[in-house]
Amino acid sequence: MTTKVDTVVVGGGAMGLSVAYNLLKRGSNALVIEGDYLNAGSTGRNMGVLKERIPHAMEDGNEDLIRLAKKGLKLHGRLSTETGINTFYRKSGCLTYAKGEEEMKQLEEYHAHFRRLGIEEMELTPSEIERRWPYINAGELAGGFYDPEEAMVHPFGVVWAYVESIKKMKGRVEKQNRVHKITESSGGYKVMAERGEYEAQNLVIACGAHSPELSEQLGFEIPLTPMRKEVLISEPIRPFFGPAFERLSTDYQIAQTMRGEILGTIGYMSPGFDLSECTSNFLNQFADETVPMIPSFRNLRIIRQWVGICDKTPDEKPVVGSLDDGLYITCGHYDYGINLAPIVGQLLADSIIEGSTDPLLKPFDPHRFD
């Protein structure tokens, strides 16, 4: 028997769930088909740092991404209240710091760029940093820029909020039901999955780095490179940390969860899909960056390391929008997609229902690589 719905969303990560949630909120019915368990993709493997100053959007010409990120950040602030489920959102702020004059000069240039886009960062000298966060050894630093609006969230909380709300609105999320084939049909699209067949007027591909495998079946190539990124987490310690800290030149981020664990990442990503290999090199690099700056972490016990996949496009911007009549895609969210999920889901649901594209989404047109 074929199940019929208005919209099938393939992929139950933050993006797919947000699209379905927003469609249902607007009264359209939607079904999410997830090939694995919930949180199996990048959504269940990320740091949960919500940034409006997206590192890949520092240069002029990337204002579009920052505009979207600002809106995403705002919507995250309301998600717990809106859904009645705690996403563990916390307006932690984020300090981007520099070591050495060269790095500081670069941050100052970015700062001028952000100011033009309405982002209110505060410049902090090393002694101001130490005064605010006395556990930092600011002798190591040249200074930094602090954005109090940036935040943290628990990605599992976000998934939970979307899934429960989808159920409440009589939508469905089917897990462990991999889609292997999609074709056009007279009324829209036919979706063949492990546990059944579906027909929908609209089809949304939201499979993260695996999205091109499905879009290619309908003749649409999306240039995505899967990039492996490593993360670690410590045992929980007393919550004291305040903001997230990051250093752009080493792709370093460190933050504390609301449970007290220290989460961190460092280093450039390597291409590939292999989720199995965590490296001691990563662990050493992380310790070399962290311990001189936060000496009290010398004996911090790391309990787990893992790898996640960031899906990267050639211009490092997402791919969101319509591929064809009734066919949509959202992928290429690299390492900032949790922040974007609420706004991308809302705008894509609007496009599906209204048949037009919001100007905020236009720069991310999937056909820009044709």
- Taking CB under 6 A as the criterion, the residue among 16, 143, 243, 342 binding ligand FAD is 16
- Taking CB under 6 A as the criterion, the residue among 141, 204, 206, 347 binding ligand FAD is 206
Q: Is residue 33 within the footprint of ligand FAD (CB under 6 A)?
A: yes
Q: Which of residues 235-294 bind ligand FAD (CB under 6 A)?
A: none
- The least CB distance from residue 347 to ligand FAD, in Å, is 15
Which parts of 15-99 are beta strand (E)? Answer: 30-33, 49-50, 94-98
- Taking CB under 6 A as the criterion, the residue among 99, 210, 312, 317 binding ligand FAD is 210
Q: Is residue 43 within the footprint of ligand FAD (CB under 6 A)?
A: yes
Q: Name which of 129 and 307 has its Cβ closer to ligand FAD.
A: 307
What distance in Å separates the CA atoms of residue 43 and residue 56, rounded to the nearest whole number? 19
Q: Is residue 229 within the footprint of ligand FAD (CB under 6 A)?
A: yes
Q: Name which of 48 and 144 has its Cβ closer to ligand FAD.
A: 48
Contact 236, 85 (CB under 8 A): no
Q: Name which of 22 and 42 has its Cβ closer to ligand FAD.
A: 42
Provide the greatest CA pair distance for the chain.
68
> Which of 54, 69, 68 minimizes the C-alpha distance to 113?
54
Q: Which of residues 166-205 bind ligand FAD (CB under 6 A)?
A: 178-179
Stretch of residues binding ligand FAD (CB under 6 A), selected from 14-22, 181-189, 294-302, 352-360: 14-22
What distance in Å separates the CA atoms of residue 332 and residue 222, rounded to the nearest whole number? 9
The CB density around residue 335, as the number of other CB atoms within 10 Å, is: 25
What is the distance between the terminal CA atoms of the chain, rounded to a whole angstrom?
Answer: 37
- Taking CB under 6 A as the criterion, the residue among 20, 41, 111, 136 binding ligand FAD is 41
Stretch of residues binding ligand FAD (CB under 6 A), selected from 55-63, 161-169, 206-214, 346-354: 206-214
Q: Name which of 57 and 138 has its Cβ closer to ligand FAD.
A: 57
Q: Is residue 71 within the footprint of ligand FAD (CB under 6 A)?
A: no
Give me the phi and psi of 171, to 5 degrees please: -90, 175
The CB density around residue 177, as the number of other CB atoms within 10 Å, is: 18
Number of alpha carbons in the 13 Å side-chain half-sphere of residue 311:
24
CB burial string 52-62: b at 16+ within 10 A, e below: bbbbebbeeeb
Contact 256, 262 (CB under 8 A): yes
Q: Is residue 310 within the footprint of ligand FAD (CB under 6 A)?
A: yes
Q: Is residue 337 within the footprint of ligand FAD (CB under 6 A)?
A: yes
* Interface residues toward ligand FAD, by CB under 6 A: 10-16, 33-36, 40-43, 45-49, 178-179, 206-208, 210, 214, 229, 231, 308-310, 331, 333, 335-339
